[in-house]
Amino acid sequence: MAVPKRKTSSSKKNKRRTHKKLIAPNMTECPNCGEMKRNHHICPECGYYGGEKVMGE
């Protein structure tokens, strides 16, 4: 059975876990209504994407 010979240091452990973190999604201002929306997504407030109405009436 494989057993570590030495205790893993906290710096080694933290270097291994650098990619395990929460990141906030990139947000931009909607050019149509001015509300914040995610990049490359339809604006949830007005339904516009790329200057065209794509959702709602």
- What mean pLDDT value characterizes the chain? 92
Give the bridge partners for 28, in sequence order.
37
Q: Annotate 3-57 with DSSP letters as a single string.
A: --SSPPPHHHHHHHTTT----PPPEEE-TTT--EEETTS--TTT-EETTEE-S--
pLDDT at 51: 87
Q: What is the mean pLDDT of the segment spanning 32-49? A: 93
Q: For residue range 1-15, what is the model confidence (pLDDT) as tens digits?
A: 899 999 999 999 999
Domain assignments of the chain as residue spans, ordered by start: 30-56
Q: What is the mean pLDDT of the segment spanning 32-50? A: 92
Q: Is the pLDDT of residue 28 over 90?
A: yes
Contact residues for 26 (Cβ-Cβ < 8 A; gap 6+): 38, 39
Q: What is the mean pLDDT of the segment spanning 19-39? A: 92
